[in-house]
Amino acid sequence: MSADPLVAVLAEVVGPAHVLTDPDLTASYESDWTGRWAGRARCVVRPADTAQVTGVVRACATHAAPVVPQGGNTGLVGGSVPRGGEVLLSLARLDRVEPVDTLAGQVTAGAGVTLAALQRHAAQAGLSYGVDLAARDRATVGGMVATNAGGTHVVAYGTTRAQVVGLEAVLADGSVVSRLEGLPKDNVGYDLPGLLVGSEGTLAVVTRARLRLVPQLPHRVAALLAVPGLAAAVALVARLRSRVGGLQAVEYVERAGIELAVDQLGVADAFSSPHAAHLLVEVADHGDPTPLLADALDGADEVAEVAVADDGPGRTRLWRVREAQTEAIALAGVARKYDVTLPLSRLAAFRGDLDGVLAREAPGARAIVFGHLAEGNLHVNVLDADHLDDRLDAVVLGLVASHAGSISAEHGVGRHKAAYVHLGRDAADRAAMAAIKRALDPEGRLNPGVLFPAAR
Amino acid sequence: MSADPLVAVLAEVVGPAHVLTDPDLTASYESDWTGRWAGRARCVVRPADTAQVTGVVRACATHAAPVVPQGGNTGLVGGSVPRGGEVLLSLARLDRVEPVDTLAGQVTAGAGVTLAALQRHAAQAGLSYGVDLAARDRATVGGMVATNAGGTHVVAYGTTRAQVVGLEAVLADGSVVSRLEGLPKDNVGYDLPGLLVGSEGTLAVVTRARLRLVPQLPHRVAALLAVPGLAAAVALVARLRSRVGGLQAVEYVERAGIELAVDQLGVADAFSSPHAAHLLVEVADHGDPTPLLADALDGADEVAEVAVADDGPGRTRLWRVREAQTEAIALAGVARKYDVTLPLSRLAAFRGDLDGVLAREAPGARAIVFGHLAEGNLHVNVLDADHLDDRLDAVVLGLVASHAGSISAEHGVGRHKAAYVHLGRDAADRAAMAAIKRALDPEGRLNPGVLFPAAR
């Protein structure tokens, strides 16, 4: 038994079996899968429901103990692992999903429900959840809310913020804010749920979410388009958006990433001749979208080759190169990863400058760039850089800012980019955010070091 | 010349011609069109741009002067007129709309741009703005942002919050927060724009908005459906949402409102036989939506009669009864107005209880109920109530709350419902909102009495 008096109090709240201090048991909570972010927790506490979360947060308040909330621990930016000494509050046991409200097209899910479980639950009721991402088997509702998770369907349904009709959350003082009625129009004061979405655990601990579901769409077509580069791809996006309804995904990969997938994983290039870039477009609708898609592509001179698939296996084949990017990069070496958004009008210029910057700052490095093109969201992976140090972060993120882009599209700021927030938010903006942080967490005990650089 | 030293300072900021103190000139700013809300302003100040707004807000801070921001003054809840003695800050001159960014499908518009001007500007670029409402010729971007305006197209595009990609706003201390880059994915700290949307001028003065535009849809069909009542209408909404893409509007009117439009304005009922209620559905898409709509209605036993129109004049005819509701009610007398949202599952029960409550509390009163049914948003108008007093407010809003509804769907809280916020937000929630208010406006000088009941 631990001599820590807080551990004893927490054991009373959640039961002794759910307060972990043995390093063998706590280890998996204390580092993320990048291996870059790790720290020892004072203890890991696993409450079962909102009342227990309240008890945990109150006890931590009494003991002036900082708290790091954690969902599926699939983040990449050090947003949900301890620096050292914090109470690690795992929401994994809040895994209850309520029956689907088919009339409203909504469901209430606990913070610990995985995305895959939520998707299955929605499908059983004949509906879909509007967000999908590769970490679906481990990523949780609470974590996706806290980071405003994006993924491949943002072009159709928006980010997680657009799915959240309401939230229940425990504030730093242990009080509970609950807006779970599922009212799509409810203008009674400030949008606290919207404020908590993307706040990365620094303002409150999300315990439940009321989520919008979307109709299942019976017709689904994927088209892989060979294009000469990023500028052509951007022009195609504008053309498609103005002429095709039901765009579900608009994904971009480049020659270097295609070859990496071929080399590392044996994935086949869908085209027999090599092209500078591929744009993968998926369209789904209540009716067959093929004629509209064909019309929209008719006369699109920037498209050199097209492959279309309207059945599941065919779509999977067209997606394979795009889906393989992350794994192929991991197999090729340790990559420096950036997740950025550029205005569509600046995307091609940024991409050109990026090559120049890397040639100068990291000679011999390779940039593997892919992403969600409708939102201008690029995942920039730098392989074989001799100097994988913080200077590269500053140079790449500075380049993004110089093109009016965002240094954090969908992965969040976490601890990784806390020192770079000034690149996207000016002094007045940061002061307003800090004032809100102080208002809701005056002692700064929720996820210290995340979003705001830590004093130590 | 006024002896008020603040007036002299403001005249230096915006020019003497734009500080009004003559009652003949200030009158139109000092009461709203309901006539219920009115008060004298210390002065009316009309800055021309963000820099002048900053100067005005700073001067007011120096003089500890409360400020009421005002857009088109089309509100119904006393949210943009003085109580007495405040500086009335009109944003009407911030009416510049920038060129449409067709690549991103976005536009940046000043707070004083009217909805009609915004719509025309978007149309000239081959795009549309996703929000429409009856006050379009006077309602402004700033006011629509401040109240999170809804209207008839929420089912398709969401409320104003879903259109706002970014904002520029002046905080109570005169500092300027600016996020106008138009990045759809930008997770760098808290969503300040989202927080300001719907904050009713109590946290900041919105000066510019970066707004999402949507494609123009070439095919548009309206269908008027005769239904036996609200429960049947709600069931139809769920059926349509699951089977038809491109729902643009789902509007509900009842027999009493249909007859009021016929009696007061000579509008023709679209059906020869009387029905308990009409559901007006508008669908638009890139392709012809008629077959999907027909399929969805096939076997919908709750529909007694259908009228369909796919040309402009025909659609206008089907919309006429719905569009005439507000004017017909105004001609019939002074109505007590409520703008509420109910969960779809509670809507029919609420409607039944409302008749019971009115029979008991206001014998002889008539309820004219219409609204945006896909969101469960009803506009409840009570005519011929003998006692048009605050008791009726408490009873009706209390009934809404007892059915887990919202007392303010799209009109906002303003001063009208500031005393009823507890019906929709519990103590912890109100405390969190008050903490945010204090964080951004510590002296409580922005729109005092709105959202939070005034001390006096």
Inter-chain touch A197–B175, beta carbons under 8 Å: no
The whole-angstrom separation of Cα B84 and Cα B74 is: 19
The pair of structure tokens assigned to A53 is 């979360």
pLDDT of residue A456: 47
Residue of chain A nearest B218, judged by CA positions? A243
Nearest to A279 by CA among A331, A241, A326, A330: A241
- C-alpha separations of A101 from A182, B67, B340, B424 in Å: 10, 43, 20, 21
Structure tokens, B94: 């911030």
Quote the radius of gyration of chain B (alpha carbons, Å): 23
State the pLDDT at residue A273.
95
- Pairing between β-strand B277-285 and β-strand B247-254 as defined by DSSP bridges: antiparallel
Examine the pLDDT at B1 and tell me if it is beyond 70.
Answer: no
Q: Order the strands of the A277-285 sheet from edge to edge.
A: A305-309, A219-227, A277-285, A247-254, A366-372, A377-383, A336-341
Rounded to the nearest angstrom, the minimum Cα separation between A2 and chain B is 34
**B 113-172 residues with CB < 8 A to A:** 126-127, 147-148, 150, 154, 158-159, 161-162, 171
**Which pair of tokens denotes residue A152?**
């491949």
Taking contacts as CB-CB distances below 8 angstroms, the residues of chain A near B191 are: 148, 161, 194-195, 197-198
Collect all residues of chain B within an 8 Å Cβ-Cβ radius of residue A154.
184-185
pLDDT number for residue A455: 63
What lies within 8 Å, CB to CB, of A76 at 6+ separation is: A32, A34, A337, A339, A411, A414, A416
B246: which residues sit within 8 A by CB, 6+ positions away? A245, B156, B217, B283, B284, B285, B289
**Tens-place pLDDT, residues B348-407:** 999 999 999 999 988 989 999 999 999 999 999 999 886 656 789 999 999 999 999 999
A and B: number of Cβ contacts within 8 A: 263
A186, A207, A221: best mutation site toward chain B, by most B Cβ within 10 Å?
Answer: A186
Q: How far is residue A342's CA from residue A345's CA, in Å, rounded to a whole number? A: 8
Q: Which residue carries 């405003």 as its tokens? A: A148
CB A341 within 8 A of CB A406: yes
For A59-108, the three-class secondary structure string (H helix, E strand, C coil) is HHHHCCCCEEEECCCCCCCCCCCCCCCCEEEECCCCCCECCCECCCCEEE
Judging contacts by C-beta atoms under 8 Å, the chain A residues touching residue B436 are 190, 195, 436, 439-440
Beta pairing class for B277-285 and B377-383: unpaired
User: B410 to chain A: nearest residue by CA?
Assistant: A187
Give per-residue pLDDT as tens, B282-334.
999 999 999 999 999 999 999 999 999 999 999 999 999 999 999 999 999 98
The token pair that represents A226 in the structure block: 């060979």
Q: Which of B292, B421, B428 sits opposite A286 (nearest CB)?
A: B292
Q: Which residue of B has its CA nearest to A378?
A: B185
**Residue B308 bridge partners (DSSP):** B223
A109-147 tens-digit pLDDT: 999 999 999 999 999 999 999 999 999 999 999 999 999
How far is residue B409 from each of residues A340, B350, B393, measured CA to CA in Å? 36, 15, 15
Residue A251: other Cβ atoms inside 10 A: 24
Q: Which of A154, A159, A291, A153 is nearest to A221 (CA)?
A: A291
Interface of A with B in 369-428 (CB under 8 A): 372, 375-377, 404-413, 417, 421, 424-426, 428
- Note the Cα A302 to chain centre separation in Å: 31
Q: Give the best-scoring range by mean pLDDT among A387-401, B233-247, B374-388.
A: B233-247
Cα B411–Cα B444–Cα B40 angle in degrees, nearest 5: 65
Give the pLDDT of residue B455. Answer: 63
Predicted complex: ipTM over 0.85: yes
Q: Where are the strands (E) in A271-416, listed by range?
A: 277-285, 305-309, 336-341, 366-372, 377-383
Contact between residue B195 and residue B98 where contact means Cβ atoms under 8 Å apart: no
Q: Say if residues B306 and B271 touch (Cβ distance below 8 Å).
A: no
**Structure token digits, residue B289:** 């939506």
Give all strands of the β-sheet with A43-45 in edge-to-edge order: A19-20, A43-45, A87-90, A67-70
Average pLDDT over residues B179-199: 97
Q: Provide the chain B residues 46-105 that lie in CB contact (below 8 A) with chain A.
A: 101-105
Residue B107's H or E segment, with its range, is: strand B106-110
The first and second tokens of residue A6, run together, are 């807080």
- Statement: residue A387 has pLDDT above 90: no
pLDDT recorded at residue B456: 47
Closest CB to B188 among A187, A189, A408: A408
Mean pLDDT of all residues in B267-272: 95
Q: Letter for the amino acid at A189?
A: G
Helix spans in B104-164 (H): 115-124, 141-147, 154-157, 160-163
Q: Which residues in chain A have their CB less than 8 angstroms from residue B203's CB?
A: 190
Cα–Cα nearest to A82, from A32, A34, A46: A32
Please tell me which residue of chain B has the smallest CA distance to A155: B184
User: Per the structure block, which two tokens stand in for A313?
Assistant: 């296996």
